[in-house]
A and B are shown apart, each in its own frame.
Chain A
Amino acid sequence: MIRTYSGHSSAEQSNELYRTNLAKGQTGLSVAFDLPTQTGYDSDHPLARGEVGKVGVPVCHIEDMSALFREIPLDKMNTSMTINATSNWMLALLIAVAERQGVSPSALKGTTQNDIIKEYLSRGTYVFPPEASVRMTADMIAHTVDEIPGWNPVNVCSYHLQEAGATPVQEIAYSMATALALLDAVASRDDVSDEVIPRVFGRISFFLNASIRFVEETCKCRAMTKMWEEIGRERYGITDPKLLRFRYGVQVNSLGLTEAQPENNAIRIALEALGVTLSKNARARAMQLPAWNEALGLPRPWDQQWSLRIQQILAYETDLLEYPDIFEGSVVVEQRTNELIEQSREEMQKVLDMGGAVAAVENAYMKQRLVESQSQRLQNIETGDQTLVGVNAFTEGEESPLTAGGSLASILSVDESAEREQIERLEAFRSQRSQSDVSSALQNLHDVVNAGGNAVPPSIRAAKAGATTGEWTDTLRKIFGEYRAPTGIVVREGGEASEMTSSVRKRVDEVSQTLGRRVKLLVGKPGLDGHSNGAEQIAVKARDVGMEVVYDGIRLTPAELVKSARDEGVHAIGLSILSGSHSVLVIDVLDGLREAGLGDLPVIVGGIIPEDDALKLKAAGVRHVYTPRDFDFTRIMGEIVETVAEAAGLDNEAGGGAATSNAD
């Protein structure tokens, strides 16, 4: 099956995009939702500001979902929805829309991502505490296993673990532990009979990542295939080979895609795609390829088409599909595969021994391991131990005609009016619905869930009654509460500091002495984007060079960030944004700081920020803008210290003052 992950701006525009892609030969749909939808806020919530329609489509109510699938027959479509904390609600909306189309819910085919564990570890779009979230997932599994047999209720994602830095062993161990947590939660339910468990097991699919080390990735896929079967047999007593089959889809690695020389990414993507298709016995069922220019911003239709072509060439031009498994009898592949299995078993057992995946989220064990691996990876790139072509090696070259004419020419920008129009539609929808129907449906949802019942049926009722995404989530927030995951930042003394690190440390000490107190930096993420890895790595590095770092975490409003900066008395603010909402949010923070009399406080921004936007931000007063191109964190720290010194009116003793010494 061939599909690309997409959706943006509004349900109407996304629907158009889907229908175009289907006409081009795409055989399934993969829906991307915007962050407010993923984290359970309506488009007009204060936290949604700047995020509506940015990384996906906003879906607030049944009319949005209906518009999204206009003229797309749901019974003929395989629909994959990247949704987690609010997945029960999105499925409920989909069921309601299917019924409107005259399609029986039982005919629906597709997948809800619904792997909440990795949200705490990597992606950050969780809402409720882990235990409550796992229960909601179990609700959906229990509901779909009989009612919607063609639905994959859960897609366990090792993908995001790798994006957060996981080694192959960690990727295998933690995703398997996640699957066990969900299966055990279902198996322990009173409303699920033991006979159903094999079918539940058979419906659990995985979503893997594929890095550029494609030989090892081939072994990883083989290892997971073997381990899954083994778990099915030994832990759940399953014998049917069809149900024991390890089914997985893949999106190849985004972490290794570079902003520098972005055209190289097309080659990386093709090689990564090979890693998960070479071994027939462990071949991906579905594959999504990112666009070559993902590190620059939202891809345009043409960019997505290029990725689609890579898959088509692999499938239809090469002889890949003509052979049985080409690694049968390979001693080398077998050995590496077995090593991975052995180490992964050991790591998974560690997690099980501490109480399973939920416990290992709450005590931050898994997160800490991932942050460690990520720090190691970044350090290897910084020192050159790991080669990234175009980034830390072979950086000189001809200018690419693909990115000529300014970066805006090569990315799609979301129309700023999308948010306003979405809010207008939402308000119009609210004013025409029956308020009493909505209230009683939400009350029913509250009562059923509070009494321990399955959340799906009352959610379907609420969807039909016209409840909104924010209302559904708020109802459950009242029962479960909201959750903040531990960061996984491990305060641990590293080894010998590099020469560069030592020199930045020395400078931090000097500047601190002149300032009268140690340089203090606030690091936080405004908006709803929960990808905290970059912010966490910056926080770790800042501490390592001797700064005091206030780590403020995710989902902050500009007003909260301004208050933190003031209360903490910091010398600079580092904001991390990956969702494309930087323009609005950063400007709001700058305005807030000025109003609070902190207009002189230097603000530094990091994230996926196109060059033209970076210029705009700098014009608005941002001191530095860092993008994935800036992999040298030590250099970034050096620049932050100088910015602090400069803002405090101190001389640049490091002597880099060429720009100012040219006055004559």
Chain B
Amino acid sequence: MPTELGARLRARDPAAVAQALNLIEDARPAKREAASALLAELEARGGEALRVGVTGAPGAGKSTLIDALVRELRARKKTVGIVAVDPSSQKSGGALLGDRLRLRSGAADDGVFLRSMAARDRLGGLSAATRAGVEVLASAFDVVFVETVGVGQSEAEVMHLVHSLVFVAQPGAGDSIQFMKAGLIEVPDVFVVNKSDLGAMAERTCSELQGGLGLNDAGADGWTPPVLLASARDAKGIDAVVDALYAHRHHLAETGTLRARLDRGRLAWLVTALRERYGSYGVEAIGGVEAVEAHFATNRAQTFPEILSVLSNEIEAALGTT
């Protein structure tokens, strides 16, 4: 059922975006219900927004790159929403969210919306709110960026939220090598070697990445991840990155994998959410991941919160009877 908030989101009212994001972060039971309803509504509509994840080691220049991309996209008359995730303190639960410092280009522009989020209890990973936040922003903006710190598990998680994952490499920092060693080379769809103003060092990093990718080897999905040189500082190569993002999205649409990609993400989230609530034991009680997958595949019309609620009931029933 369409809500007033949902309607205001689709009308791109920034105050409504802020309100919706506050709602989806709210842990109070009544609010969670309202949030689920809102998300169900948004997912059913399936926003057309281009969703992009941006990841890379701290200091690689993710924020400055996004800042430059925002400028380019604004010049192309696209509106942009951004979720920036920073780690939380394990001791105090507090967090320092400093992304607005570097993402200045939308500071006074209502066509740009930035929400900083703390990773909360998820070590370097994404909170459930991040996922919901992307849905909210995707309903009101043309392009949505998700910025996460760190090379590791968060890539795999963020991949499920977006159409394209950009890996930002710092020239000469060796993080690209680490990245390849970690076996994550297949995850990103676009590689950007930022700070191309560093010259030879940037080009070397570029070749390393291309080498690691296996030159011109298209992946199983027929997409060859481009390795692009860019300089956020000098605004060079930025347009090519934007072009690559649209090209990748076009590729997904062409190959009919646009929806499948996000579905895969939803499935992964579903399993994680159920495990968080009931543990692996609970998920096993209804037949394990395969059963969840099967339910997901046969109930495509159901929204994510609906599926979650149905399976939760099943698990509770199963656990209650044993």
Identify the A interface with B (CB < 8 A).
Answer: 129, 363, 481, 484, 487, 489, 491, 493-494, 497, 505, 508-509, 512-513, 516-518, 539-540, 542-553, 556-557, 559-560, 563-564, 566-569, 596-597
Contacts and interface: CB of A to CB of B under 8 A. Distances in A.
Most buried by A among B18, B94, B97, B107: B94
A235 to B, nearest CB: 26
6 contacts: A487-B98, A508-B93, A549-B97, A556-B107, A563-B107, A567-B115
Contacts of B27: 513, 516-517
A551 B94 contact: no
B214 interface: no
Given A484-B104, A543-B89, A569 B25 contact: yes
Interface in B288-312: none
A391 B88 CA distance: 34
B173 to A, nearest CB: 11
A551 B101 contact: yes
Given A518-B118, A549-B96, A566-B15, 4 more contacts: A484-B101, A513-B27, A549-B94, A550-B116
Given A516-B28, A567-B113, A568-B115, A547 B94 contact: yes
Contacts of A505: 92-93
B233 interface: yes
Contact of A546 (B93, B108, B113): B93
B5 to A, nearest CB: 14
A513 B98 CA distance: 24
B22 A548 contact: no
A568 B102 CA distance: 15
Interface string B16-53: 01100110011110010000000000000000000000
A543 B95 contact: yes
Most buried by A among B22, B28, B93, B234: B93
Contacts of B88: 548
Given A491-B87, A491-B89, A569-B21, A550 B100 contact: yes
Contacts of A597: 15
A567 B114 contact: yes
Contacts, number: 112
Contacts of B115: 567-569
B94 A542 contact: yes
Interchain residue pairs A-B with the least CB separation, the first 10 = A516-B26, A543-B94, A516-B28, A546-B92, A569-B22, A546-B94, A553-B101, A517-B25, A546-B93, A560-B107
Interface in B82-129: 87-98, 100-102, 104, 107-108, 110, 113-116, 118, 120
A487 B101 CA distance: 9
Contacts of B21: 569
B141 to A, nearest CB: 12
Interface residues of B, number: 39
Given A491-B87, A493-B91, A540 B96 contact: yes
B14 A567 contact: yes
Nearest to A564: B100
B91 A497 contact: yes
Contacts of A566: 14-15, 18
A429 B231 CA distance: 40
A552 B90 contact: no
Contact of B108 (A484, A516, A543, A560): A560
Contacts of A516: 25-28, 31
A539 B96 contact: yes
Contact of A491 (B28, B96, B116, B120): B96
A22 B100 CA distance: 47
Contacts of A545: 92, 94
B113 to A, nearest CB: 5
Nearest to A46: B108
B19 to A, nearest CB: 8
B167 to A, nearest CB: 21
B223 to A, nearest CB: 33
Contacts of B120: 518
Majority SS at the chain A contact face: mixed
B320 to A, nearest CB: 28
Contacts of A544: 89, 92, 94
A505 B94 CA distance: 9
Interface of B: 14-15, 17-18, 21-22, 25-28, 31, 59, 87-98, 100-102, 104, 107-108, 110, 113-116, 118, 120, 233-234
Contact of B100 (A489, A508, A553): A553
A505 to B, nearest CB: 6
Contacts of A551: 96-98, 100-101
A597 B26 CA distance: 20
Contacts of B101: 484, 487, 551-553
Nearest to A551: B98
A494 B114 CA distance: 29
A487 B91 CA distance: 22
Contacts of B89: 491, 493, 543-544, 546
Contacts of B90: 493
A512 B118 CA distance: 14
Given A551-B101, A569-B21, A597-B15, A517 B26 contact: yes
Nearest to B86: A491
Contact of A548 (B59, B95, B110): B95
A569 B100 CA distance: 14
B65 to A, nearest CB: 15
A564 B107 CA distance: 8
Contacts of B91: 493-494, 497
A557 B109 CA distance: 12
Nearest to A552: B100
A550 B59 contact: no
A191 B15 CA distance: 56
A129 B234 CA distance: 11
A397 to B, nearest CB: 37
B108 A557 contact: yes
A585 to B, nearest CB: 15
Nearest to B97: A550
A312 B102 CA distance: 48
B176 to A, nearest CB: 19
Nearest to B93: A546
Contacts of A487: 98, 101
A372 to B, nearest CB: 14
Nearest to A597: B15
B235 to A, nearest CB: 8
B102 A484 contact: yes
A10 B22 CA distance: 47
A487 B59 CA distance: 13
A540 B95 CA distance: 9
A512 B14 CA distance: 24
A509 B113 CA distance: 28
A552 B90 CA distance: 23
B310 to A, nearest CB: 25
Contacts of B28: 516
Contacts of B15: 566, 596-597
A33 B31 CA distance: 52
A565 to B, nearest CB: 9
Contacts of A484: 101-102, 104
A560 B104 CA distance: 10
Contact of B94 (A548, A557, A568): A548
A547 B188 CA distance: 33
A510 B234 CA distance: 47
A363 B61 CA distance: 11
